[in-house]
């Protein structure tokens, strides 16, 4: 699986950090308007989400049999903090 762009990784991790239990389709649609990812498609953002889940930065859950949501794992929180402190996170 191809490694996604660092900006899209940061945006998805930040969204999961600030909005835990957001359904993934809502999450990616909201992020399409971000300045950082305006040139990425919804498909690329979904690829980023699935890559982050595969690498265990995000985990999938369900609330009362509703649609799946994603939340950060401990590894994901560490990655988010590193990206936030790095130049990648500069707007």
Q: What is the pLDDT of residue 11?
A: 82
For 34-67, what is each residue's pLDDT tens digit?
A: 666 666 777 888 888 899 999 999 988 776 666 6
Q: What is the pLDDT of residue 41?
A: 76
Backbone angles phi, psi at 60, to 5 degrees: -90, 140
The H-assigned helical ranges of the chain are: 6-18, 24-31, 42-54, 74-85
Q: What pTM, to 2 d.p., does this model score?
A: 0.76
Q: Is the dihedral of CA 36, 19, 58, 83 positive or negative?
A: positive
> What is the mean pLDDT of the segment spanning 23-27?
67
Strand pairing of 22-23 and 58-61?
unpaired
């Amino acid at each position: 699986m191809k490694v996604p762009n660092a900006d899209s990784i940061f945006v998805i991790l930040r969204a999961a950090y600030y909005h835990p239990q957001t359904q993934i389709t809502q999450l990616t649609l909201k992020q399409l308007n971000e300045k950082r990812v305006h040139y990425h498609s919804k498909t690329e953002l979904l690829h980023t989400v699935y890559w982050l889940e595969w690498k265990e930065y995000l985990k999938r859950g369900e609330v009362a049999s509703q649609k799946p949501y994603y939340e950060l794992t401990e590894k994901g929180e560490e990655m988010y903090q590193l990206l936030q402190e790095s130049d990648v996170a500069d707007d």
